[in-house]
Amino acid sequence: MQWMVRNIAGSVGEALLGLLYPRVCAGCEGPLGGGEQGGEIPVCSTCRDRLERITPPFCERCGEAFDGETVETFRCSNCADRDFHFDYAVAGHRAHTLVRELLHRFKYGKQIHLCECLRALMEPALDDPRLAAIAQRQDGWLLVPVPLHRRRKRERGFNQAAELCRALARRRRWKVAEALRRTRYTAMQARLDRAGRLENLSGAFKLSRNRRILKELEGADILLVDDVLTTGATANECARVLREEGKANKVVVLTVARR
Ligand SMILES: [Zn+2]
Ligand SMILES: [Zn+2]
């Protein structure tokens, strides 16, 4: 709640400040030129060259970008033998160079002001034609953040996925439901191999106890939001709970970046 108030106050304040002072590049913090200020992603042209948007061809299941010529859609070797509980995953940018730095500053450097920039970096993923029909519907997608364990949230001060959901919701008028809880304080996924990651996650997520939220989940078309998708193990376990226990209709994973 506190974060939400601060966020709203933050975006109003930001708009006012923008009138008085020129904005700075989210990457190098240098001043943004006139032509650059209007851009959706607030970075200078030098930093823009360090961004790599994910465009087709990419894996139709996990969103893994593919270099080279191929048919419009395909399934990568990583997904060929796997069945995910989510329908598919989409990401705005590749998780390297600048995007990686921004995510790191946002999450571990507590630079919450980068949330709007990261939301803009996530946004191109929403151009995927598979998302269009539900996006254009009156109620649209239901945004569900991948949860943090409350101890980790206390350490970090906020849940980056929930902040991204709220930033997106402010622009799209979609609802946010914090429908999942992380009930186990697990080791950092990044330090584990694939088998370890799956083991580490089993039973780590539960549905919210909030009745209103549970009702909202039934038959819902969900965008499960996180900052980055690596192996897909976390998103997969969340999607399983949303589907099997929450009775969600569709679960599509949306992230800022794909590693
Ligand atoms: Zn820059
Ligand atoms: Zn794949």
CA of 33 to the centre of ligand 1 (A): 10
Per-residue pLDDT of the chain (259 residues; tens, 9 = 90+): 555 555 566 566 655 555 555 678 999 999 887 666 545 888 998 999 999 999 888 999 999 888 776 666 678 888 888 889 999 999 999 998 999 999 999 999 989 999 999 999 999 999 999 999 999 999 999 999 999 999 999 999 999 999 999 999 999 989 999 999 999 887 666 666 766 766 677 889 999 999 999 999 999 999 999 999 998 999 999 999 999 999 999 999 999 999 8
The single-letter DSSP state of residue 38 is T
How do the domains of the chain map onto residue ranges? Answer: 55-78+86-258
Residue 80 has a pLDDT of 83
Distance CA 165, CA 115 (A): 10
Residue 86 has a pLDDT of 97
The single-letter DSSP state of residue 245 is I
Which ligand has the nearest atom to the CA of 79? Answer: 2
The Cβ of residue 34 has, within 10 Å, a number of other Cβ atoms equal to 7
55-78+86-258 maps to CATH 3.40.50.2020: yes
CA of 213 to the centre of ligand 2 (A): 31
Which ligand has the nearest atom to the CA of 101? Answer: 1
Which ligand has the nearest atom to the CA of 73? Answer: 2
CA of 230 to the centre of ligand 2 (A): 11
CA of 47 to the centre of ligand 1 (A): 4
Query: Residue 101, exposed/middle/buried by CB under 10 A (0-12, 13-18, 19+)?
Result: middle
Residue 79 has a pLDDT of 86
Distance CA 248, CA 245 (A): 8
CA of 62 to the centre of ligand 1 (A): 30
| Separation of CA 80 from chain center | 24
pTM beyond cutoff 0.75:
yes
CA of 28 to the centre of ligand 1 (A): 4
CA of 31 to the centre of ligand 1 (A): 8
